[in-house]
Amino acid sequence: MTRNLNFARSFGQICLTGFAAVYAFPLYLIVSLALKTEAEGARAPFALPSSLFSGNFARAWQTSATSGNASLAPAFGNSILITAVGVVLLVVTGALGGYVLARRKSRLADWLFVLFLIGLTVPQQLGIVPLFQLARGLGLVGSAGGMILIYAGLLAPLTIFLYTTFIRALPTDYEEAALMDGASRLRVFWDVVMPLVRPVTATVVVIQGIHIWNDFFTPVIFLLGSGQQTLPVAIFSLVGEYATAWGPIFAGVVIASAPAMAVFVFLQRHVVRGFSGGIK
Amino acid sequence: MSRITLSRVGKRYDNGHVAVRSIDLTIETGEFMVLVGPSGCGKTTLLRMIAGLEEVTSGSIQIGERDVTRVPPQARDIAMVFQNYALYPHMSVRENLGYALKVRGVAKAEAKTRIETVAGMLGLERLLDRRPNQLSGGQRQRVAIGRAIVREPAVFLMDEPLSNLDAKLRVGMRGELARLHNRLAVTTVYVTHDQVEAMTLGHRVAVMRDGEIMQVGPPEDLYRRPRNLFVAAFIGAPAINLVEARLEADGLSFAGWRIACPLPPGLGDAGRRVIVGIRPEAFEAAEFAPPGLPRLDITAEIVEAQGADSYVGFTLDAPRVEAEQIAAAAEGNDAALISEARARFMARVTPKRRVAPGETLALALDASALLFFDPDGGEALGQA
């Protein structure tokens, strides 16, 4: 019996390791090619690098892409700016909105929540043309500020949904205790509710942050030709010029992936709590 | 002055449910008022209305000379202790105690002094840097009380603050709460469903049922002179013994016994049916009772020896009193777990008289302690 159990467990572990290897292989390929010279990459693409070559990173970071004036360095800055400000805006508006929707007992609040739920189900691409026309009319196209506002709107439904459902599950006693302690509603939100919803905030930061950071489709439409492009668009531009030079391209991918992975590793514990639990 | 005056206070929810019905109650400055009643009687709703956490749909609430009916909770100068303590989980004990002071802009040095004074008073000095999840139930309770005290408010509200503690700790904390109130003398409204807590803590106790106050008065009054069957059945542990009796020219008769005793005036004529209430301590083993008291011979069914007292349970040859008021009261103290057709009594006897189950025992009855109720409305009879 015990023997069968051990065999089943070992077999399961082997299968899982196999799956993990399949998923990890592209990551290995990207990092390994980013650390090889072009010659070595062409000769032995799947082998481990014979030595750690950093030239690809320097080339990707500094060299102009798209036959012109953009390299990864300014795109990196744009991505950081748009992602950071976009996520902060989403957290502030989403938490405030979610708090009101969770705590206000009115039909209007219920309907607004349903409206956000509908927003979750509608594909973004469906509304992109009218949204582009609206953004152009408001002068939001081609600027980082406009891009941030567009993200804050597009990603609001999921953010509001996460905050509302989490806050609904929180007991109201903490807020009532703070009211009795003399705090205003806004202060209750800031001092008591925000710390309690930290797991959701971590979830929003990771999910929405990675979404904005990796998004290719929206900035291509709203930022193209503006010189404000983000990392995914800039890396795509590299493909045109270095079609055969995979080293700098993969170095760019590594540069682009590193911050998102770091954030995820740092916050993953909170993210799991955000999805699974409340306050203990 | 922090007298609380409730004038025709009512609460009706949007769905039409009436939780509190036109309550008039004055709680004097420094008084410890307990609101007690079975689940769903409206006591917590009334407390939350005083706190400002629940909207008052009719009537008004005054604290001192100020009408606070529409004043938000943060402007009422009230502190509240919640049933589950509601300590901020992300703050240390020190921060929990100091939060109200911080919000009110109390100078840091003064806040520090007040926090340390309260921590000293409640034995929390060594716990100041801990988080609530690192505290035991009793310690959390102290912090919750400390958080209320540190503000020096005009009124304390307490919503079943001891209900999450184990029985032994609850008894200890009850004593501490009483001592604390004697020391601070702040007007306090305390909600509980535990009538022992109500009787031991309250200067006055308001017994509530279905959103109304059935009776308000000192605990002794509620116990000795309940205004109706509900109060009689709710107050007292073990519960009052009730049986239907018939008035006679020289006393009363019930369950085949005839008790010759003087009856209070105003009960009515001989032949009238009444419900008679007998507290367990109105009985005593006949050989230890003063001579001349009426005697009843009973067969002991259960014996509960509790050290200082022994309780003897026995069944009467009379039907159980079926009154809606008694059922409502029993819901509160879990007395009626088993449905019995015949009336069951509990008598307190001195532990010097050892009683075995099945033994026949002569009980003396102090007839001056009998209570009488109208079988129709449940109102008390023969009380001045």
The C-alpha atoms of residue B257 and residue B273 are separated, in whole angstroms, by 15
Of B90, B104, B151, the CB nearest to A196: B90
pLDDT tens sequence across B271-310: 899 999 999 999 999 999 998 899 999 999 999 998 888 9
On the CB side of B23, CA atoms within 13 Å amount to 37
The C-alpha atoms of residue B382 and residue B267 are separated, in whole angstroms, by 5
Inter-chain CB proximity A182 and B80 less than 8 Å: no
Q: Which CATH architecture has domain A61-276?
A: Orthogonal Bundle (1.10)
Residue at which a domain ends, from B230, B252, B281? B230
Total domains present in chain B: 2
B332: confidence class by pLDDT, cuts 50, 70, 90: very low
B220 in the same domain as B124: yes
Burial of residue B5, with CB atoms counted within 10 A of its CB: 0-12 exposed, 13-18 middle, 19 or more buried: middle
Q: Residue B27: what pLDDT?
A: 97
A275: confidence class by pLDDT, cuts 50, 70, 90: low
Task: Fill in the amino acid letter for B281.
Answer: E
Question: What does pLDDT average to over chain B?
Answer: 91
Distance from CA of B146 to the nearest CA of A (A): 12
B123 in the same domain as B50: yes
B321 in the same domain as B375: yes
Distance from CA of B41 to the nearest CA of A (A): 21
B243 in the same domain as B107: no
B216 in the same domain as B80: yes
pLDDT tens sequence across B6-34: 999 999 998 999 999 999 999 999 999 99
B167 in the same domain as B309: no
Inter-chain CB proximity A177 and B72 less than 8 Å: no
Distance from CA of A180 to the nearest CA of B (A): 5
B161 in the same domain as B35: yes
Asked if the C-beta of A176 comes within 8 angstroms of chain B's C-beta atoms, the answer is yes
The CA–CA distances, whole Å, from A6 to A1, A2, A3, A16 equal 9, 6, 5, 15
Asked if the C-beta of A194 comes within 8 angstroms of chain B's C-beta atoms, the answer is no
Instruction: Give B216's strand partners.
Output: B206
Which residue in chain A has the smallest CA separation from B90? A195
pLDDT tens sequence across B47-85: 999 999 999 999 999 999 999 999 999 999 999 999 999
Q: What is the extent of the structural domain holding B253?
A: 237-381
Residue B116 has pLDDT above 70, yes or no: yes
B256 in the same domain as B148: no
Residue A247 has pLDDT above 90, yes or no: no
pLDDT tens sequence across B125-162: 999 999 999 999 889 999 999 999 998 899 999 999 98
Q: Residue A63: what pLDDT?
A: 62
B241 in the same domain as B224: no
Residue A66 has pLDDT above 50, yes or no: no
B340 in the same domain as B211: no
Question: What does pLDDT average to over chain A?
Answer: 87
Distance from CA of B187 to the nearest CA of A (A): 16
Q: A66-75, A233-242, B152-161, B368-377: lowest mean pLDDT where? A: A66-75
Question: Which CATH number covers residue B175?
Answer: 3.40.50.300
Is A38 strand, coil or helix? helix
Q: Residue A243: what pLDDT?
A: 56
Q: Tell me how many degrees the CA angle A265-A268-A270 measures, rounded to the nearest 5.
A: 140
Which residue in chain A has the smallest CA separation from B98? A181
Task: Show me where the domains of chain A are located.
Answer: 2-53, 61-276
Q: Residue A280: what pLDDT?
A: 44
B317 in the same domain as B211: no
Residue B338 has pLDDT above 60, yes or no: no
The whole-model pTM stands at 0.82
Q: Residue A67: what pLDDT?
A: 44
pLDDT tens sequence across B181-232: 988 899 999 999 888 899 999 999 999 999 999 999 999 999 999 999 999 9
In this prediction, the answer to ipTM > 0.90 reads no
Q: Tell me how many degrees the CA angle B18-B20-B22 measures, rounded to the nearest 5.
A: 110
* A1 vs B320: which has the higher pLDDT: B320
Q: Residue B44: what pLDDT?
A: 95
Residues of A in contact with B51 (CB under 8 A): 176, 180
Residue at which a domain ends, from B210, B230, B250? B230
A42: confidence class by pLDDT, cuts 50, 70, 90: confident
B181 in the same domain as B128: yes
Residue at which a domain ends, from B230, B250, B283? B230
Residue of B13, B49, B74 for testing the chain A interface, max A β-carbons within 10 Å: B74
**Residue A84, φ and ψ in degrees, nearest 5:** -65, -50
